[in-house]
């Protein structure tokens, strides 16, 4: 992938500053100037473009490049389901207020359409012209209908007769069978017909929904194919034999399509007596929300696409013609269907610090010292193990935990259930509105309640996004608290894919603060003063602004001043303006922001002391860390991103890393990201992301993997293996 690749924000002319252009410093610079801000939705799209770019990066193994393409597809689906749907809703309700960037929702939506038409075309070009041929060279083939041999075609026909026909339900369109209410993102076909059926009907059109129970990839028998792994698309099989569903009629055309719908749940919490019951009622509607996008095969005739657009209430601007399967995410299972570890990332064993293995008593280890773990380079097992040990430990009297995302087969939930059954006082704060995990969270809440745990759903109007465990243990006649605080979720699968910090501690002041937060969530009362923790929506934003302002004052006084922030997103206007003021005062600031970033760096007199980087690699960057140099250097980890919703409308925790050894180690991690040039994108003043200019040295994730885990790159590959 060329190092000069850049991704534009596609902002309006009033926003666009070329990387070489600068604004003259002025005593009266207004930080409300829209030119100083990037639109959050367009920035979100830029992140997804950086993900798509990985599919072309030959330093990634081939099947991993395919995964990046499919992740891009999944991300884009969610972008339409949530962000585009939200914009359309604002326009419909005539809430056309602007953000700091000054763009109206209609203008943003127009920009999104132009960008998405381009990137979807790039997506399918990458699939058809790069990845599929490269996979074929590795004997992994996707055989289209025209490529089937006679024997393969006969086998596919038998498969359709035995596996597809019994579960498929074609729908002829007539007054008794109007256009069906199709499920969000489901694969469907529109079929044009000629002739009359047994009842004399002659409507000419039918819809064939592809059953979701069927795999989208059909493995062809080895004995009928060339050596290797050979697959046919379900869409090809249905297309080849669609006439079987319309006996005696002539099929004139068959074209796949897919509808994307608004998937954002809208639960009116005012007057709701049972949030769980209200949410259950809304979950079904997510599958049938308002249409926001129509994807069709690129050879579908205009009269049929016009008919589909009319039926789903969309316009030509919301039509996407695609050259390939419309539901690419369903191909994510391919790596499991082929035994090709050589085309995947090399495996590794996460590091395990001394004292935290399953054979150790973790409470005794924490009594001696705190532990700061960086997943997935270091194991998530200690987080699971402390709960397992607590469930069995006769000295443990109570466990409290927040649950945002856990997965449907959660070892952590199993440990909590065991603890409740063993007579421990188990209290869980389950966030029912964790987007797209609502159904799983309702299920795990029911399991916990059946085991005897106390389950609460946090505070209405504020998502509980903090990641906390509090364990109360009786030791030598006194109660002692142990805590886990994290930047990520209690999901063991994500802990292998996301970078996140975990702090395990027996610091009693810190644990007392955690206890106070739990009291706020489960009971009622005024905000209690915290000793160490900063928490949203009460103190976190205010204290962050004070910390940034303190750096600015230090710089103005000629003292050392530096800020390093690593987060998923930066969109909060007051935080951005505080960083601009710090830059004007001379504070050197490095921001490692994976996704959305509305701050525009490099503007002369405004943000010329700020650099913004985005790291995209093997693991999803998810850590939230803040470093401030002023006076005594201060380092924090947090569950919160620097977004309006996190700082104003969520329950979040930000906790200090006080032990010098742990703070130094965290700084070493941050410096690793700042020193690596490979797989790191830099945001320019013009709103573009440019890939590292030198491409020298291993990427940060590779360095951390070799430093913290039991990992040795294969001998056949370069020591600076790109991850």
pLDDT at 698 over 90: no
* Separation of alpha carbons 46 and 690, rounded Å: 11
More confidently predicted of 156 and 358: 156
Q: Which two tokens stand for residue 696?
A: 């020298």
Q: Is 645 annotated as a binding residue?
A: no
Query: Hey, which residues are catalytic here?
Result: 465
Give 386's pLDDT tier (boundaries 50, 70, 90).
Answer: very high
pLDDT value, residue 659: 95
Give pLDDT tens digits for 420-430: 999 999 999 98
Name the pLDDT band for 282 (thresholds 50, 70, 90). Answer: low
Whole-number CA gyration radius for the chain: 27
Token pair for 633? 């250097």
Check residue 525 and give left, alpha or beta (phi > 0: left; psi -120 to 50: alpha): left
Structure letter (DSSP) for residue 164:
I
Dist. CA 516–CA 366, nearest whole Å:
21
Alpha-carbon separation of residue 301 from 174, 240, 260, 325, 461 (angstroms): 21, 18, 20, 17, 47
* Measured CA distances, 37 to 24, 309, 575, 685 (Å): 17, 35, 12, 10
Q: Which residues contact 683 (CB under 8 A, 6 or more apart)?
A: 597, 600, 601, 612, 613, 614, 689
DSSP letter assigned to residue 462: B
Residue 699 CA, chain-centre distance (Å), reads 21
Tens digits of residue pLDDT in 620-631:
999 999 999 986
Q: What is the mean pLDDT of residues 531-557?
A: 96
Cβ pair 188, 210 in contact under 8 A? yes
Residue with token string 């991850």: 723
Q: What tokens appear for 699 in the block?
A: 């990427």
pLDDT of residue 4: 44
Using CA atoms, how far residue 391 sits from 31, 395, 471, 473, in Å, is 53, 10, 10, 11
Lowest mean pLDDT among 153-162, 242-251, 435-444: 435-444
Alpha-carbon distance of 528 to 711, in angstroms, equals 45
pLDDT the model gives residue 436: 58
Contacts 24+ apart (CB under 8 A), 701-708: 701/499, 701/615, 701/617, 701/618, 701/619, 703/672, 703/676, 704/374, 704/377, 704/669, 704/672, 705/348, 705/377, 707/377, 708/350, 708/351, 708/374, 708/377, 708/378
Task: Dump pLDDT digits (tens) for 646-694.
Answer: 999 999 999 999 999 999 999 999 999 999 888 899 999 999 999 986 6
Q: Identify the pLDDT of residue 677.
A: 83
Looking at residues 328-332, what average pLDDT do you find?
Answer: 91
CA gap 187, 297 in Å, rounded: 11
Is 293 known as a binding-site position?
A: no
For the ranges 118-122, 266-270, 353-357, the one whose mean pLDDT is highest: 118-122
Are the C-beta atoms of residues 433 and 282 closer than 8 Å to each other?
no
pLDDT tens for residues 552-602?
Answer: 999 999 999 999 999 999 999 999 999 999 999 999 999 999 999 999 999
Q: What is the pLDDT of residue 26?
A: 42
Q: How confident is the model at residue 720 (pLDDT cuts 50, 70, 90)?
A: very low
Q: How confident is the model at residue 217 (pLDDT cuts 50, 70, 90)?
A: very high
Q: Categorize the per-residue pLDDT at 178 as very low, low, confident or very high, splitting at 50, 70 and 90.
A: confident
**Which ranges of 458-535 does DSSP label H, i.e. alpha helix?**
508-522
Q: Known binder of ligand: residue 474?
A: no
Q: Give the separation between CA 704 and CA 9, rounded to whole angstroms.
A: 31
Four-residue CA torsion sign, 293, 296, 298, 155:
positive
Q: In angstroms, rounded to a whole number, what is the distance separating the alpha carbons of residues 703 and 90?
A: 45
pLDDT confidence bin for 368, thresholds 50/70/90: very high
Q: Where does the pLDDT of residue 104 fall: very low under 50, low under 70, confident under 90, or very high at 90 and above?
A: very high
Bridge partners (DSSP) listed for residue 611: 590
The pLDDT assigned to 443 comes to 81
CA-nearest of 376, 345, 326, 423 to 124 is 326
What pLDDT is recorded for position 89?
87
Do the annotations mark residue 405 as ligand-binding? yes
pLDDT number for residue 704: 95
**Token pair recorded at residue 34:** 């829209």
**C-alpha dihedral over 179, 181, 185, 191, to 10 degrees?**
-20
6: β partners: 690
pLDDT of 277 reads 54
Q: Kindly tell me if the per-residue pLDDT of 335 is higher than 60.
A: yes
Query: What pLDDT is attached to residue 210?
Result: 94
H helices present in 93-211, as ranges: 105-125, 132-137, 150-159
Cα 478 to chain center, whole Å? 43
Q: Do 702 and 722 form a contact (C-beta atoms < 8 A)?
A: yes
Is the predicted pLDDT of residue 174 greater than 90, yes or no? Answer: no
- 375 neighbors 498 (Cβ within 8 angstroms): yes
Q: Peptide bond before 301: cis, by omega within 30 degrees of 0?
A: no
Specify the pLDDT at position 717.
34
pLDDT at 6: 54
pLDDT score, position 286: 52
Band (pLDDT 50/70/90 cuts) for residue 185 is very high
User: 313 falls in which pLDDT band (50, 70, 90)?
Assistant: very high
**For residue 707, which of 482, 419, 478, 378 has the smallest C-alpha distance?**
378
| pLDDT tens track for 429-468 | 988 765 656 677 678 888 888 999 998 887 878 888 999 9
For residue 2, the model assigns a pLDDT of 42
CA pair distance 679, 676, nearest whole angstrom = 8
pTM > 0.85 = yes
Q: What angle do CA 470, 488, 551 make, to 5 degrees?
A: 95
CA distance 240 to 218: 14
CA-to-CA dists, residue 96 to 86, 113, 315, 644, angstroms: 12, 18, 20, 18
- pLDDT confidence of 371, banded at 50, 70, 90? very high
Considering only 411-415, 526-530, 531-535, which range has the smallest mean pLDDT? 526-530
Say whether the peptide bond before residue 376 is cis (omega within 30 degrees of 0): yes
Separation CA 486–CA 643 (nearest Å): 18
Q: What domains can be seen in the chain, in order of their start residue? A: 34-137 (1.20.58.310), 149-343 (3.30.1840.10), 362-526 (3.30.870.10), 535-708 (3.30.870.10)
- The pair of structure tokens assigned to 381 is 């097992």
DSSP per residue, 251-277:
EEEEEEEEEEE--------TT-S-HHH
The chain-wide mean pLDDT, for the chain, equals 88
Q: Tokens 């009971």 belong to which residue?
A: 523
Mean pLDDT of 260-283: 57
In terms of average pLDDT, the best of 26-35, 193-202, 438-447, 467-476 is 467-476
- Evaluate if residue 5 carries a pLDDT over 60: no
Three-state SS annotation for 322-342: ECCCCCHHHHHHHHHHCCCHH
Three-state secondary structure call for residue 460: coil
């Amino acid at each position: 992938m060329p190092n000069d690749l850049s991704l534009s924000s596609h902002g309006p002319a009033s926003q666009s500053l070329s990387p070489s252009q600068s604004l003259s410093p002025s005593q009266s610079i207004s930080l409300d100037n829209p030119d100083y801000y990037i639109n959050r939705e367009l920035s979100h799209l830029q992140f997804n473009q950086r993900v798509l770019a990985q599919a072309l990066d030959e330093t990634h193994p081939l099947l991993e490049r395919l995964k990046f393409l499919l992740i891009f597809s999944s991300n884009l689906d969610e972008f339409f389901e949530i962000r585009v749907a939200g914009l359309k809703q604002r326009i419909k309700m005539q809430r056309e207020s602007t953000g700091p960037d000054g763009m109206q929702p209609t203008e943003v939506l127009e920009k999104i359409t132009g960008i998405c038409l381009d990137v979807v075309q790039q997506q399918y070009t990458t699939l058809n012209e790069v990845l599929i041929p490269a996979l074929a060279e590795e004997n992994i083939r996707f055989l289209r209908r025209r490529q089937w041999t006679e024997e393969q075609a006969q086998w596919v026909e038998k498969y359709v007769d035995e596996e597809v026909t019994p579960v498929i339900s074609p729908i002829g369109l007539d007054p008794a069978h109007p256009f069906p209410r199709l499920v969000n993102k489901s694969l469907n076909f529109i079929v044009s017909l000629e002739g009359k059926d047994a009842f004399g009907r002659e409507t000419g059109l039918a819809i064939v929904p592809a059953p979701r129970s069927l795999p989208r990839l059909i493995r062809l028998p080895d004995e009928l194919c060339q050596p290797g792994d050979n697959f046919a698309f379900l869409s090809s099989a249905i297309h080849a034999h669609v006439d079987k569903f319309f006996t005696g009629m002539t099929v004139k055309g068959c074209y796949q399509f897919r509808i994307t719908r608004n998937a954002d749940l809208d639960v009116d919490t005012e007057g709701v007596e049972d949030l769980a019951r209200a949410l259950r009622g809304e979950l079904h509607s997510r599958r049938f929300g308002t249409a926001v996008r129509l994807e069709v095969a690129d050879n579908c005739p205009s009269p049929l696409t016009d008919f589909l657009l009319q039926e789903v209430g969309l316009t030509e601007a919301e039509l996407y013609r695609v050259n390939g399967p419309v539901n690419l995410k369903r191909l994510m299972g391919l790596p499991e269907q082929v035994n090709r570890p050589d085309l995947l990332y090399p495996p590794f064993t996460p590091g395990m610090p001394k004292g935290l293995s399953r054979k150790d008593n973790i409470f005794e280890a924490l009594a001696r010292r705190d532990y700061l773990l960086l997943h997935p380079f270091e194991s998530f097992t200690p987080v699971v193990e402390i709960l397992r040990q607590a469930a069995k430990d006769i000295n443990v009297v109570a466990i409290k935990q927040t649950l945002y995302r856990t997965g449907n087969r959660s070892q952590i939930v199993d440990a909590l259930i065991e603890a409740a059954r063993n007579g421990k006082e188990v209290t869980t704060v389950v966030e029912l509105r964790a987007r797209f995990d609502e159904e799983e969270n309702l299920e795990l809440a029911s399991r916990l309640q059946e085991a005897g745990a106390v389950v609460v759903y946090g505070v209405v109007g504020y998502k509980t996004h903090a990641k906390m465990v509090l364990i109360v243990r009786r030791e030598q006649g006194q109660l002692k608290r142990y805590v886990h605080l994290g930047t990520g979720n209690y999901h063991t699968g994500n802990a292998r894919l996301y970078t996140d910090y975990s702090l395990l501690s027996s610091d009693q002041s810190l644990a007392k603060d955690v206890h106070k937060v739990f009291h706020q969530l489960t009971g009622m009362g005024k905000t209690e003063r915290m000793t160490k923790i900063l928490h949203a929506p009460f103190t976190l934003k205010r204290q962050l602004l004070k910390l940034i302002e303190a750096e600015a004052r230090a710089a103005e006084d000629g003292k050392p001043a530096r800020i390093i922030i690593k987060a998923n997103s930066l969109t909060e206007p007051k935080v951005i303006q505080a960083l601009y003021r710090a830059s004007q005062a001379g504070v050197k600031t490095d921001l490692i922001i994976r996704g959305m970033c509305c701050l525009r760096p490099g503007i002369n007199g405004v943000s010329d002391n700020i650099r913004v980087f985005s790291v995209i690699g093997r693991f999803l960057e998810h850590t939230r860390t803040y470093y401030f140099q002023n006076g005594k250097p201060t380092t924090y980890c947090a569950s919160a991103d620097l977004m309006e919703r996190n700082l104003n409308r969520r329950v979040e925790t930000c906790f200090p890393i006080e032990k010098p050894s742990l703070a130094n180690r965290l700084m070493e991690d941050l410096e690793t990201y700042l020193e690596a040039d490979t797989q790191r994108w830099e945001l320019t003043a013009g709103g573009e992301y440019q890939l590292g200019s030198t491409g020298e040295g291993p990427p940060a994730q590779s360095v951390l993997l070799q430093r913290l885990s039991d990992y040795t790159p294969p001998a056949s590959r370069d020591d600076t293996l790109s991850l």
